[in-house]
Chain A
Amino acid sequence: MAGSERRRPRATASATKGPTIEDLFLRFTLFNQRGRGFQSKAGPPAGPGSENMLVFQPMGQLGIRQRNPKWTHQVTFALDVISAASPDGLDAVSSASRYNEAGELDVTTTYASETRGEWSMRYGLHFEEPFRSGFAGLGWVGRYFEDNTTVAVNTTYILDLFDYIHPLGFSPVQVEKRLTISDNVGVTQVLSPTTLLSASYGVTFQAGTLQTTWNSVAISDAPTTGCPNDFGQAPEYDCPNRAPERLPRTRTRHAAALMLNQHIPRTRSTIKLAYRFYDDDFDLRAHTPGVMLYQWLGRRTYLRAMYRYHWQRGVSFYGVATRTDASDEMPLTADSDLAPFSAHQVGLKAVVYLVPPGSVRGAQYLDGGYSRYQRSNDLHVDVVSLGYGRDF
């Protein structure tokens, strides 16, 4: 049920049946973000401006097995309904800065070979104003030593197309492009009847327009006469004291992660320890440890508590302001996401099984959780999530 990525497809199912639904997941998540960042214009002329945002995110995922049981499809759809999506922009030519919807369809088709592992193809589309994206990739999973060792490899290509929107709100007819190529390898190893270890590494190369074109940086020596101290989102806000964000045209990113899962049968508890290391050629480096504790309460219910810490050194060209005599060739950003900061996240979740795991009817559960994400540079997010899952 849960953790369906690890589950081996049931290739021995009857070949005479038609396509069948294997599992279903539904989730609704609410993000309430409050904060301020120097890339945002929704504030005093020299910043920082508002990054307040509310996101409603319904999602669903369906697992389908074809008549030939070696073929399966995992179809995921996600919708983001966002208010104040990009207060950084305050663009006059689209409504993306005030209200936006994003939709995504993500399909993974897998063929389970008897002897050569599982081969998969991932493809999909993502739409949001003013942004279109398509992606496709290939993956392979091999299992060894009586399924004690699982090796997974995948590569994904993503092409993003988006309209250029200047921080002052105008938008020439100009489509920007960004290509992302990501290669990943992961290994999962059973260490004992109660211990599981997984390790993964990924390298991602990006080329094209990497900046968010409506992000801006305050010009410290520019005149601010006529610039209103407007915390709202007035579309006529066209104060000329801000320069567009500029990022290099390429970026190479490395990330490696480890996770150790330990079950304690005596107390029916599980502890997961995770760590991720990240480094890229923007000089951004990050360390992200985390821990999750699970406790069963009876046969149908468990609680999960989580804590995650993230520390990052900002990109080398981060700054809260620039000057009029600064070179147009130098990269420059005031984006709070690329700044040096640390973040804490704590959360609690309860999972209640309507049909317990191991039942011949197929497990079925409801869950509800809350978490708080708090960044050291004046931003926090409250997350409320409700989910439903079912095996058929």
Chain B
Amino acid sequence: MNSRPMARSDAKVVVALVFALGTLGCVVVPQNRREYLADPTMQLQDDPLEARSNRKLWTAREGAAGGDAKPAGGGCGCSN
């Protein structure tokens, strides 16, 4: 309920994100070398409906939703 200055753990997250963003464009893997990236096990989500179902499980039982490019609350009557 209060506005706190950024804590040390917040700063670590920001540094990690900046590092991740800093890698952009450093490596260019040509199309013909992406066979393994196309493997079904390498996709960001295995199955869209399974991801949706998991999100509902966690959103309805944890006060800390979000971070997966989906809204962190609202849209259901499940205490979120």
Contact = CB atoms under 8 A, between A and B. Distances in A.
B64 to A, nearest CB: 4
A201 interface: yes
Contacts of A192: 27, 29
Contact of A284 (B34, B40, B63): B63
A265 B36 contact: yes
A331 B1 contact: yes
Nearest to A293: B41
B2 A156 contact: no
A286 B62 contact: yes
A123 interface: no
Contacts of B31: 146-147
A191 B60 CA distance: 34
B75 A191 contact: no
Interface of B is mostly: loop
A129 B45 CA distance: 31
A238 interface: no
A255 B66 contact: yes
Contacts of A317: 1
A29 B71 CA distance: 22
Interface of A is mostly: strand
A379 B52 contact: no
Interface residues of A, number: 117
A39 to B, nearest CB: 8
Contacts of A314: 63
Nearest to A356: B40
B67 A276 contact: yes
Contacts of A383: 53, 57
A391 B22 CA distance: 35
Interface in A198-246: 198-202, 204, 206, 212, 215
How many chain B residues sit at the interface, stated as a range, is 35 or more
Nearest to B46: A2
Given A148-B25, A187-B21, A282-B63, A131 B76 contact: yes
Interface string B6-25: 00011001001100110111
B69 A128 contact: no
B37 A288 contact: no
B76 A126 contact: yes
A335 B69 contact: no
Contacts of A389: 47
Contact of A2 (B27, B37, B47): B47
B71 A25 contact: no
- Most B CB atoms within 10 A — which of A131, A190, A288, A349? A190
A34 interface: no
A287 to B, nearest CB: 8
B2 A283 contact: yes
B61 A255 contact: no
Interface string B38-80: 1111111111111011001110111111111111111111011
Contacts of B40: 1-3, 302, 351, 357, 363
Given A131-B76, A255-B67, A5 B44 contact: yes
A180 B66 contact: no
Contacts of B64: 255, 278, 280, 284-286, 288, 310, 312
A194 B23 contact: no
A76 interface: yes
B50 A180 contact: no
B2 A149 contact: no
Given A182-B71, A189-B24, A315-B63, A27 B47 contact: yes
Nearest to B4: A283
A266 to B, nearest CB: 11
A276 B31 CA distance: 30
Contacts of B16: 258
A59 B58 contact: no
Contact of B62 (A4, A282, A337): A337
11 contacts: A3-B46, A148-B28, A149-B24, A156-B71, A158-B75, A190-B27, A199-B17, A199-B21, A201-B67, A302-B40, A387-B49
Given A78-B49, A148-B27, 12 more contacts: A145-B25, A158-B74, A160-B74, A179-B74, A193-B37, A258-B16, A263-B36, A278-B65, A278-B72, A283-B1, A284-B63, A351-B40
Interface of B: 1-3, 9-10, 13, 16-17, 20-21, 23-25, 27-31, 33-50, 52-53, 56-58, 60-77, 79-80
